[in-house]
Every structure is written in structure tokens, then in C-alpha cells.
Amino acid sequence: MIIEKRLYAPKEIIVKNGGALAISLSGVYDAINKGTIPTVKVGNRRLVPYWFLEQLLRQPGETTTMAHRPIPNRQASRTEVLARY
């Protein structure tokens, strides 16, 4: 049985820790607060969904600076976000 991770802590998505985003941890938190990186709140934690990281990695010729641009569906309701899992 293979279990793939669906949510990532902000520390896990930066390059320093083996992640996909080439920005600092404070940059990740800033983008989360601005709404450019979507998150799901679980308890007191903010976790980044896997589909956002896949979306970044699939963009040909794009760099990871896409994290600074708003994504089109960032205003999705919790039900819509959870439906992607």
C-alpha cells in the first residue's frame, strides 16, 4: 500500500529542506498570508496542498517565482479545496 502525502508544512516546500520552492521560509509565510499560496487549516496549522506544488512543477519554462503571483482559484471555499483530494 502506497500512501502519498497530500498536505505539506511550509518548511517542507522550500528547496533548503528538499522542497520545490526556491524562496525563503519567511517568503513562504508571506505568500501564504497574501493568499498567493493556498493553504488548508488543520487545527492551528496551515498546510500547503499537493496540487499546488504539482501545478508549479508542471509549468514548462516557469520558475518557482510563480509563488509570488496569485493563483486563479485562491478564493475557493473549504469544500472546494478539500474536494481536490
Give pLDDT tens digits for 44-70. Answer: 999 999 898 888 888 765 554 444 444
Q: Which three cell numbers stand for residue 36?
A: 498567493
**Does residue 57 lie within any of the structural domains?**
yes
**Weakest mean pLDDT among 1-5, 17-21, 29-33, 57-61:** 1-5
Give the count of beta carbons closer than 10 Å to the beta carbon of residue 13.
23
**Does residue 43 lie within any of the structural domains?**
yes
**Does residue 50 lie within any of the structural domains?**
yes
Q: Which three cell numbers stand for residue 79?
A: 469544500
In this prediction, residues 19-25 reach a mean pLDDT of: 84
**Does residue 1 lie within any of the structural domains?**
no
**Does residue 51 lie within any of the structural domains?**
yes
User: Could you tell me the CA-to-CA distances from 43 to 40, 46, 74 in Å, in that order?
Assistant: 10, 8, 20
**Does residue 13 lie within any of the structural domains?**
yes
How many domains, in total, are found in the chain?
1
Q: What domain range includes position 66?
A: 7-83
In this prediction, residues 41-45 reach a mean pLDDT of: 92
pLDDT band at 22 (very low <50, low <70, confident <90, very high): confident
pLDDT on residue 29? 93
Q: Cα–chain-centroid distance for residue 73?
A: 13
66 within 8 A of 23, measured Cβ to Cβ: no
Q: Give tens-digit pLDDT for 68-82.
A: 444 444 555 556 655
**Does residue 66 lie within any of the structural domains?**
yes
**Does residue 2 lie within any of the structural domains?**
no
